[in-house]
Amino acid sequence: MIETGIPPDKEEANLETYAEKGTSFSWAELEREFTWYESGELNIVQEALDRWARLRDEKSRKALIFEKAGKTLVFTYQELRESSCQWANLLTEYGLTVGDRVFIFLPPCPEIYFLMLACARLGIIFSPLFPDLSFDELAFRLQNARPRSIVTHPDLIERLPDHALSSVERIFLTEGAGVGLFPNELPIKDIIGTLPRKSAIKWVRGTTPLYLLYTSGSTGPPKGVVHAHMDMIGHLITARHVLNVKEGTVIWTDGDPGWVTGTVYGAFAPWLCGATSVIQGDRFSASTWYRTLERHKVEIWYTTPRTLTRLAEAGDDLPRRYDFSRLRHIATVGEMLRPDQFAWTRETLKLPPHDTWWMTETGMICIANYQSMSIKPGSMGKVIPGIEAAVLDENGEPLPPMTLGELALRPDWPALMTGIWQDAARYQDYFRFRNWFLTGDMVTMDEDGYFFHYGRNDDLIKIGEKIIGPYEVEQVLAFHPAVAEAVAISVGSASAKTYVKAFVMVSKGFTASASLNHQMKAFLKANISQDLPLADIEFMEELPKTRSGKLLRRVLRAREKGLPSGDPARLKE
């Protein structure tokens, strides 16, 4: 166990009274902090934007800092409100209303955030899309959600599949002139600035859909996960207690809005807290990331273990050229934070990274390592107050500590998804055990309440009475000096027996060979079990991953079965 080094009397020691807070916590009590508790008028934009923009001192506070290609744009809460109102007026003028869907298909730009707020203001469901989705991925989403409008850039419009646009009445272009366009294509660059800077809020119910995000499905096509305005309660409490965001805090969440982390903790959660959100629109480079932390005086950085690895690969000398004195908290999400990633970050950046766990479906952080907690390397942390979790067996019965099973949560927190778009059966499958939400993640919980991740529930291997997950195989391989990175999956055989297959990226200075393959197999069996049913180790130049750094085991499983998996570079959360 590692102490974080933060004294319990410091303000940064959020949730220092964890046990006490956990027993006294009430989601209902939190409702008192929102203006709708007294007024009865509910919309997330009122709480995240308008209430700050109406206050004399807070309206001039920075809400959004956007940087791209060396240019920085800064928007105060008042300016962000005015810009988003202009977009709301545009959408209203073209007939969009409560329940309509708008796809946001744009490269990184401030307009993404204006549109998210504009749609929320009107009760319209927005869906941010990764700008490099493939033709087929776009077609599925268009045919599934049937949006009335798409906001895109001329550079991307040719990527839209014509056969899937039957529901789309209007395509708004953020750039370009009205030459050579189809009748339903409208450039709005010269229009948007002429529209009124005020727009009335559409008051909605807490269950009114807010956004629609697509996440990969292990047994079918992508799932359109629906979230509602009442998510704001979970956004606020987790930003405050897990990430330690306060009024005026500068937070950088380096995730695209097409990924739920970018939507929630890159936009709504910071603004609910009255904080400043930094958005970096350039592609990753170590120098760009370090410069962003320094230039914008970032205090809280929410990133991924994959990003930390990429920074480490750039060397230990580079970060010494930058000033991170304002940085007080680093948190990670996306895949499990490995001990070596933790150690490098603490040693090089002088702060211990705190891992968190949640899903697109949960809508907010559910398990976390708090600043005030001691960290057990490799652990996801503990459940946040207001969340009840258990480890279940295949019959839905709770398992004792240190027993591998499926992570399940009591479905009574406010940010839980409200549905899967056009697929009630897949939604209900999450709740097939009464009063539990099933995550599909295999975990153990120790006697102290710390959770440890062991992969997804369809990648487990049984050796005698022992069950192992891909994580254990990957961790053993990580100790081999020739392994830069590894991923393991389970594969079937004609005899119905399940085997392990590992995929390995070789470290610099080593060469993939039959001899090295044999050495790694022996190394695995020596450190796990001589009975380990190891099918093979395959060397790869690159492992398939999502943007958040999650290893795409399903892509490797599909390849092993001879099934199509799509282009790994384009597969998203």
Of the listed ranges 109-118, 171-180, 404-413, 472-481, the one predicted with least confidence = 171-180
> What confidence category does residue 23 fall into, taking pLDDT thresholds of 50, 70 and 90?
low
The answer to whether 136 and 163 have CB atoms below 8 angstroms apart is no
What's residue 33's pLDDT? 93
Nearest 10 degrees: Cα torsion 552, 557, 563, 565: 0
Of the listed ranges 74-83, 259-268, 455-464, 515-524, the one predicted with least confidence = 455-464
CATH superfamily of domain region 458-570: ANL, C-terminal domain (3.30.300.30)
What's residue 395's pLDDT? 84
Residue 316, phi then psi, degrees to nearest 5: -90, -15
The answer to whether 369 and 355 have CB atoms below 8 angstroms apart is yes
**499-506: strand order across its sheet:** 483-491, 499-506, 534-539
Average pLDDT of the residues in 299-310: 95
> What confidence category does residue 573 fall into, taking pLDDT thresholds of 50, 70 and 90?
very low
Q: What is the length of the chain?
A: 573
Q: Which amino acid is at 564?
A: P
What's residue 548's pLDDT? 66
> What confidence category does residue 572 fall into, taking pLDDT thresholds of 50, 70 and 90?
very low
What's residue 294's pLDDT? 98
Residue 136 has pLDDT above 70, yes or no: yes
What's residue 571's pLDDT? 47
Average pLDDT of the residues in 153-168: 94
What's residue 439's pLDDT? 95
What's residue 8's pLDDT? 40
Average pLDDT of the residues in 532-545: 90
Strand partners, 136: none
Using CA atoms, how far apart are residues 272 and 268, in angstroms rounded to an integer? 6
User: Reduced to 3 states, what is the DSSP secondary structure of residue 141?
Assistant: helix
CATH architecture group of domain 18-445: 3-Layer(aba) Sandwich (3.40)
Residue-wise pLDDT tens digits, 466-517: 667 777 888 889 999 999 999 988 886 544 567 889 999 999 999 999 999 9
Residue-wise pLDDT tens digits, 107-128: 999 999 999 999 999 999 999 9
Using CA atoms, how far apart are residues 494 and 326, in angstroms rounded to an integer? 58
The answer to whether 358 and 387 have CB atoms below 8 angstroms apart is no
Residue 12, phi then psi, degrees to nearest 5: -70, -15
What's residue 517's pLDDT? 95
In the chain, how long is the greatest CA-to-CA distance? 72
Of the listed ranges 28-32, 286-290, 321-325, 560-564, the one predicted with least confidence = 560-564
User: Reduced to 3 states, what is the DSSP secondary structure of residue 395?
Assistant: coil
Residue 229 has pLDDT above 90, yes or no: yes
Which residues lie below 8 Å from residue 519, measured CB to CB, with a gap of 6+?
480, 482
Residue 544 has pLDDT above 90, yes or no: no
Average pLDDT, the chain: 90
Using CA atoms, how far apart are residues 250 and 564, in angstroms rounded to an integer? 43
> What confidence category does residue 567 fall into, taking pLDDT thresholds of 50, 70 and 90?
low
Q: What is the DSSP string of 7-53?
A: -TTSTT-TTTTHHHHHHH--HHHHGGGSTHHHH--B-HHIIIIIHHH
Closest to 139 in 3D by CA, of 161, 171, 155, 167: 161
> What confidence category does residue 216 fall into, taking pLDDT thresholds of 50, 70 and 90?
confident
Using CA atoms, how far apart are residues 446 and 79, in angstroms rounded to an integer? 48
CA-CA-CA-CA torsion sign (373, 378, 382, 384) = positive
Cβ neighbours of 443 (radius 10 Å) = 26
Secondary structure in 3-state letters for 490-545 = EECCCCCCCEEEEEEEECCCCCCCHHHHHHHHHHHHHHCCCCCCEEEEEECCCCCE
SS3 content of the chain, % helix, strand, coil (to 5): 30, 25, 45
Closest to 254 in 3D by CA, of 236, 275, 232, 280: 280
Percent of the chain with pLDDT over 70: 90
> What confidence category does residue 93 fall into, taking pLDDT thresholds of 50, 70 and 90?
very high
Average pLDDT of the residues in 223-234: 97
Residue 554 has pLDDT above 80, yes or no: no
What's residue 504's pLDDT? 96
Average pLDDT of the residues in 375-389: 93
**Distance spanning both ends of the chain, measured CA to CA:** 32
Domain ranges of the chain: 18-445, 458-570
> What confidence category does residue 383 fall into, taking pLDDT thresholds of 50, 70 and 90?
very high
Residue 355 has pLDDT above 60, yes or no: yes
Of the listed ranges 6-10, 148-152, 353-357, the one predicted with least confidence = 6-10
Residue 225, phi then psi, degrees to nearest 5: -85, 125
